[in-house]
């Protein structure tokens, strides 16, 4: 059974869980904190989906402002 661990291929997280890259998480936290002035703890309390939605909304606001709208 070389190349497998407990019935799953090596290198795969148990339960199919995919980890979120720490540098990306830090980038999102810094982005939201910078634009909305929220504390780190408040941002970390958001779910991944909520945090991604706020990042997307900030990007839309920035785009509008940069285009003069």
Count of domains for the chain: 1
CA 12 to chain centre: 20
In a domain, 47, yes or no: yes
Range of the domain at 54: 21-69
In a domain, 25, yes or no: yes
In a domain, 7, yes or no: no
Give the pLDDT of residue 1. Answer: 44
Integer Rg of the chain from CA: 18
In the chain (69 residues long), the average pLDDT of successive 10-residue segments reads 52 61 93 96 94 96 89
Q: Rounded to an integer, what distance in angstroms lies between the CA atom of residue 22 and that of residue 1?
A: 32
Predicted model pTM: 0.67
Give the pLDDT of residue 9. Answer: 58
In a domain, 4, yes or no: no
């Amino acid at each position: 059974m070389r190349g497998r661990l407990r019935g799953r291929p090596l290198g795969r997280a148990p339960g199919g869980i995919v980890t979120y890259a720490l540098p990306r998480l830090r980038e999102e936290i810094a982005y939201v904190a910078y634009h909305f002035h929220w504390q780190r703890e408040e941002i970390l309390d958001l779910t991944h989906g909520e945090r991604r939605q706020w990042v997307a909304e900030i990007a839309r606001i920035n785009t509008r402002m940069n285009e003069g709208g």
